Amino acid sequence: MIDHLNDPQRAAVTIDSGHALVLAGAGSGKTRVLTTRIAWLIQNGLTSPFGILAVTFTNKASKEMQVRVASLLPIDTRNMWVGTFHGLCHRLLRAHFRDASLPQGFQILDTADQLSLVKRLLKANQIDDEKFTPRDVQRFINSAKEEGLRSHAVDASDPHQRRMVEIYALYEAQCQRDGVVDFAELLLRVLELLERHEPIRAHYQRRFRHILVDEFQDTNALQYRWLKLLSGGGANIFAVGDDDQSIYAFRGADVGNMADFERDYARGAVIRLEQNYRSQGHILDAANHLIAHNSHRLGKNLWTDQGEGELIRAVELPSDGAESQWLVDEIKALVGDGISRLDIAILYRSNAQSRVIEHALFSAGIPYRVYGGLRFFERQEIKHALAYLRLVMNRDDDTSFNRVVNFPARGIGARTIESLVDQARTYNTTFSQSVARVAGKGGSSLAQFSLLIETMAQETRMLTLSEAVEHIIEASGLLNHYRGEKEGAERIENLGELVNAATVFETEHDLSGLPSGEPAKTLIELMPDDSVEELGLNLPIAQTPLSAFLAYAALESGDNQAQAGQDAVQMMTVHAAKGLEFDAVFITGLEDGLFPHENSIIDPSGLEEERRLMYVAITRARKRLYMTMAQSRMLHGQTRYAVRSRFLDEVPENHLKWLTVRGVSNDVSTQSYARAFGAVGVNNSRSSQYGGTALSKGPSSGLQIGSQLFRVGQGVRHARFGEGTIIGLSGSGLDAQAQIHFADVGSKTLALGIAKLDIMT
């Protein structure tokens, strides 16, 4: 099992006791080490399968871990505690719902549900949603929870913050009334459950002897506390991660956890996996040199024995359209050379960039597949159907109530809803509980809706899960509604897919023939050991099939890849590419302001995260890597001009080959732009015409207004705003605008024809 590992890998797998931190570079066999370690621990009798807790961030990663462990050992991994933070917490909360102060039928809010709850909350409490935008409130609540803070524990310094905290408190109360938990709440609840209930805490602390954590660099403060608490009974934590691939700080991940963990736990037990089995020499060296520009690294240097390989190809194109066209031509050539389209990836910083590229690929007839975007369980018609099912489970789920109370339309308008909101607020009840009071005042369609839900609940209780789903799609009127809609056919198809998904779920969990509304023995969420007795729980806590299915829908929003499997070029954001690898990779849009993104350029830590993102992008490539940039690009409906990304300059020139593109200087958009508005591209001679190898300085462009030439990155002075830096240029002529970050007043967009700016030298 461990014979074919390299030395550091074997050292990590067989480390005997105590905590350990494994710094696993890109392509260094991270998952292999994790899974082999689990198998090794069990095989050598160091723990039983029940003594292991393995945590990941994504369902995909946890599934892969289960499959790979199962391939190493003849055990049923389904019973092991291998899962995502959220999935495992959900399991704990189902088992201990009473001690966690939750109703048995509690439901999980996804991000969209959460936002709609916040909106309703703001409206019901007449809070100015200009000063407190729903997005901001949502972010505030989530980041507080990710730090492990309840509303009463948040430090509010100014009045605005104090109001935020009040809203947070209202939100907490509303969730509790509704019997719903958001994603962060799953973790926070479990943390509190373990903190407050000694016997439960002791039980799990005793049980888990080895806790293994994947992608440790992505943990937030809450997850770190969670791990600390669970390991409090002497368990060993085996944390695997790569600080250079930490790209989720924006959602609360704290790389600092790695350094903290090393200091507090893994003293001395740090293992570096530095041999890369993925990329060839030039690619790997480029990545190493780039990331060396970051400070605050734990430090490591990847190497390969695969030889230098090819130089990285860099290309500068006049426009985003030209960039896409160039991609098309190059991909045609690659495919002509026999490279499979599945092994080609086009990466970009932000989703907005994909459209132009898609358009070009589509016109050229090149099959492609875009990752990201709407997932199955997030589709409107699916969410509607799920909302009915959730109401069957839990009448108090106001979010679901609100979603479908008048969908399909049944004559319940804004006035009725308003009085419902009124009543609910006055009496501190949920919508469902307030129906009688409002209905008494003439809202009979509302009473009918309530009756509909009750009837559905009764009718579906004894049906199997898939039958129940099918029945509800019909009885809710959803099916009829979409039949009458022009674009309804696809939605009806998707609703059919939902029934399908329920059938698959039944099979996978041995639920065929079982009633959807009765607890099913196959869904007992506790391990088959002494826990029931030890925890003083008299009954095995089983879920109903419906409840389990709804949790599955919320926690695994499902594949968004309808066309999976066919031979298509892979398109995705750099974030989405983490963990994947391809023979040929195109990193596109390498322009300052786009990659690195303008929102991150000003702040040094933001820039470092962008650099790590670039590092992730580079290390996706096995054999061939392209870096492309466009001098002009349509962004937010305006043409913007940018200079090439500083990251291109951070790649040593001996790893780069600048490609000459024929016809660049004749590009229509550049020419007409230059003619019409007198802006000049500076240094517009292409260095690569001299032979095509290793040239460091490409051209850059700017905006000429009068006698002044403005460029991104330039320092400027404004009479009122003071000194600042240009972080973006857009438009042209009279519409020319500059986004400027001022040291004192923050970012402003100024019209270059009007604002008086001095260029600082």
Query: Which residues bind to DNA, rule: CB under 7 A?
Result: 57-60, 84, 86-87, 110-111, 129, 183-184, 247-248, 250-251, 349-352, 355, 372, 406, 409, 411-416, 555-557, 572-573, 575-576, 597, 599-600, 606, 610, 613, 634, 636-637
Who contacts 438 (Cβ-Cβ below 8 Å, separation ≥6)? Answer: 416, 419, 420, 423, 446
C-beta closer to DNA: residue 57 or 265: 57
Q: Do the beta carbons of residue 610 and residue 570 sit within 8 Å?
A: no
Residue 533 exposed, middle or buried by CB count within 10 Å (0-12, 13-18, 19+): exposed
Written as one letter, the residue type at 521 is K
At closest approach, how far in Å is the CB of 37 from DNA? 22
592 assigned to active site: no
C-beta closer to DNA: residue 284 or 614: 614
104 assigned to active site: no
Rounded to whole angstroms, the Cα distance separating 441 from 339 reads 70
C-beta closer to DNA: residue 133 or 306: 133
C-beta closer to DNA: residue 281 or 731: 731
380 assigned to active site: no
C-beta closer to DNA: residue 372 or 540: 372
At closest approach, how far in Å is the CB of 634 from DNA? 6
Rounded to whole angstroms, the Cα distance separating 33 from 298 reads 20
At closest approach, how far in Å is the CB of 141 from DNA? 13
Hey, CA dihedral for 572, 573, 574, 575, is it positive or negative?
negative
At closest approach, how far in Å is the CB of 575 from DNA? 3
C-beta closer to DNA: residue 379 or 711: 379
Rounded to whole angstroms, the Cα distance separating 465 from 504 reads 10
Give the pairing of strands 582-587 and 621-635. parallel
At closest approach, how far in Å is the CB of 89 from DNA? 9
Which is catalytic among the residues 10, 14, 31, 172?
31
661 is written with which tokens?
């593109």
Which is catalytic among the residues 174, 245, 399, 628?
245
Of 172, 202, 174, 165, give the one whose Cα is nearest residue 188: 172
Rounded to whole angstroms, the Cα distance separating 42 from 21 reads 20
Who contacts 39 (Cβ-Cβ below 8 Å, separation ≥6)? Answer: 1, 69, 72, 73
At closest approach, how far in Å is the CB of 378 from DNA? 8
Residue 218 exposed, middle or buried by CB count within 10 Å (0-12, 13-18, 19+): buried
507 assigned to active site: no
**Beta bridge mates, 64:** none
Of 617, 612, 622, give the one whose Cα is nearest residue 588: 617
Q: Where are the alpha helices (DSSP H) in 208-345?
A: 221-230, 256-264, 281-291, 320-336
205 assigned to active site: no
At closest approach, how far in Å is the CB of 613 from DNA? 7
Rounded to whole angstroms, the Cα distance separating 156 from 690 reads 61
111 assigned to active site: no
C-beta closer to DNA: residue 636 or 675: 636
At closest approach, how far in Å is the CB of 631 from DNA? 18
CA 560 to chain centre: 13
C-beta closer to DNA: residue 6 or 563: 563
Of 747, 703, 760, 752, give the one whose Cα is nearest residue 721: 747
Count of Cβ atoms closer than 10 Å to residue 560 Cβ: 16
Q: Tell me which residues are annotated as active site.
A: 30-31, 214-215, 245, 620
